[in-house]
Chains A and B, each alone.
Chain A
Amino acid sequence: MVLNWNDVGILYQRELRSALRDRTIVTNSVLLPIFLYPLLIWIVYSAVTFVSGQNEGLKSRIMLKDVPEAHVRLKQGFEKDRSIVLGSSLDPRDDIRQGLLDALVEFLPPKSNLGIDDNFSVRITFDESRDSSDRARSRIAEKITNYREDFLERRAVQSGISREQFQNFWIDDQNLSSNQQISAFTIMLPIFFIIMLAVGAMHPAIDSTAGERENSTWETIMTAATSRTSILVAKYLYVATMSFIAAFLNLFAMMVSMGTVLAPFFQTGRGNSSLRIPLESAPLVLVGAALLALFISAGMMILASFARNYKEGQSMVGPFYIALVLPILFLQTPDFAFTPRLALIPVANVVMMIREAVQGVYHWRSIGVTLAVECVSIIVAVRIAVLIIQHEDFAIGTYNGSFGKFAKEWLLGK
């Protein structure tokens, strides 16, 4: 059938006008992306900060054993520390297992004596499965490390050499990753992107297909003097637009909120991590978002168009939504490489492309493969949708929400 772009424009305008007057669609595609996710992140991180703050206030119950007399200052340091309570036990290991004690600090003879008087080694016994015990180990280690640094410096001065001469070699960190690469924002961005694209597409996809059936407007539009392809393309573009708008608004809202109220949560300790998309990567991010919006919209519309009503539509699109989001969670480890092979997997490829673009990394070969694969996937999905909409039983809704029945009749001719 012939595609008439003038008709597509009229139909698209009608879809958009109706959608922007629908409370559910406006909520899901406009308000939710702007307010809900930044708000949720703020609530979650506030809660996490509150809980970790509470934990910081908890005292560690520690037993010191055989503290050398020369290091009485270390013992005094433990005694003065308000986050530590010193205690004793007949069977400290058992008490640690039972949670009655958090850690045991044993002072042992040095493993090698390099001519330093009063040298010693320390063994910390703790239970890693308990947070309080693990926290006690950290506190002890920090305290002893600080004491050792101070001790070494004093010994160096006594020996008439500098601290640097005394310590033969140093370890200096030099991190080559940019702030963008280590930013939690860039790690989370693709997840939110997919979620928002799917949320933005879901209600319009169901509303423009199953919703039309439920409202009995499906036959009204099917008897209009335009091709069914034009009707489908207009609906498709409308769903993709809503999906893209949702993702774009969410991205904008996240950037604004993360740069202000959420900024303290997303600092890595190496200075402020950047919470903005670099300008040079913006075109690729937008192309990726558009491709994903088109792909997700096609998939959701195909499934939703078999449903007779909104509820059926939701139950048919729901698994697709989960199938989209779940694999993306596995891609969130920073080590995952964007290889040409990975670029062959729809959705995952765009997610990786966006993530790397935000980090300022461009693997052009993988990007090329991604764009090609995504375009082919979209064309295939739209072709399937066009084939379906031409099908008569689909037009009058006799498949009763059954994609399986349609496939059986269409593919097997039964």
Chain B
Amino acid sequence: MSAPVVVRNLAKAFYDEGRGEIKAVDSISFECHEGEIFGLLGANGAGKTTTLRMLSTILAPTSGTATIMGHDVVHDPEGVRKNLGFYSATTALYPRLTTRETIEFFARINQYPSKRVPERVEYLIHRFGLEKYADARIEKLSSGMKQKVSVARTVAHDPAILIFDEPTVGLDVLNALDVQETIGELRAEGKTIIFSTHIMSEAERLCDRIAIIHGGQILATDTLAGLREITGQHYLEDIFVLFVKAGQETV
């Protein structure tokens, strides 16, 4: 049986009038196993978001393939999205809907069985401690509460795969820890999670395996222990710098 997420030689090039063709993602390959948190660790502009956008079918790859729960991102984008929850700083909520309406809307539109939607909505409201704010409009919520509702809407249709693209960007420490804790809990529930970040401590703390991505290429993929062993470095920051420098020398 193949892995829930399989990426093979995935590439994405953009054309810029001034700079010509830009390879944002350059033939990357990886697999994510069931129930793991797979980290994409890279600096800004490394190609993390483009990769995740291709996996979530917002962008079409220039070449290569990727499947989510067996659904091809190019040929069956709706099948992919049905099995996927995508969360990023650019996926905001509708400000004029209430918490309850938001979760219900995303459960329905993501094809969760309609008969079970009310039950699912109540479960998620309880699961994320949103009872007090269930009938408040999103625009009235604090940023911390919005964050919780965002996670709730991401998992509203109970997808097997979750993508978190830099989920803690712009959050204060407490809210960031809250999000990290939630991601850990979702793994415990058996979700397969792809987690992108440029914050080393987050990757160290959460990820079962880490892919170091730089210049659109994956330079290394392993567990934290494996990366330590390969490089002889203890801190992820040092490991990351070592790979990036080695990558630049190769280029």
A residues with a Cβ closer than 8 A to B are 2, 7, 10-11, 14, 17-18, 21-22, 215-217, 219-220, 222-227, 392, 395-396, 398
Contact = CB atoms under 8 A, between A and B. Distances in A.
A220 B91 contact: yes
Interface stretch (B76-84, B212-220, B238-246): B76-84
A219 B90 contact: yes
Contact of A225 (B78, B90, B94, B101): B78
A398 B17 CA distance: 12
Interface stretch (B54-62, B118-126, B185-193, B195-203): B54-62
Interface residues of B, number: 32
A396 B108 contact: no
11 contacts: A7-B109, A18-B94, A215-B95, A216-B90, A216-B91, A216-B92, A220-B93, A223-B58, A225-B81, A392-B59, A396-B53
B111 interface: yes
B135 to A, nearest CB: 13
A223 B97 contact: no
A210 to B, nearest CB: 14
B58 A222 contact: yes
A94 B200 CA distance: 94
Interface string B227-247: 000000000000000000000
B59 A224 contact: no
Interface string B89-131: 1111111110001000110111100000000000000000000
A201 B89 CA distance: 30
Interface string B154-171: 000100000000000000
Contacts of B60: 392
B88 interface: yes
Contact of A217 (B92, B101, B110): B92
Contacts of B82: 225
B78 A226 contact: yes
A223 B96 contact: no
A192 B58 CA distance: 41
Nearest to A224: B109
A307 B59 CA distance: 19
B86 interface: yes
B92 A223 contact: no
A206 to B, nearest CB: 15
B78 A21 contact: no
A223 B109 contact: no
B58 A10 contact: no
A21 B82 CA distance: 29
A27 to B, nearest CB: 15
B96 A22 contact: yes
Nearest to A221: B109
B194 to A, nearest CB: 13
Given A217-B94, A224-B106, A225-B111, 8 more contacts: A14-B97, A18-B96, A21-B137, A217-B92, A220-B153, A224-B110, A227-B78, A392-B60
B84 A10 contact: no
Contact of A223 (B14, B57, B95, B108): B57
Smallest CB-CB A-B distances: 9 pairs = A216-B92, A225-B82, A225-B81, A220-B91, A223-B86, A21-B96, A18-B96, A225-B110, A224-B109
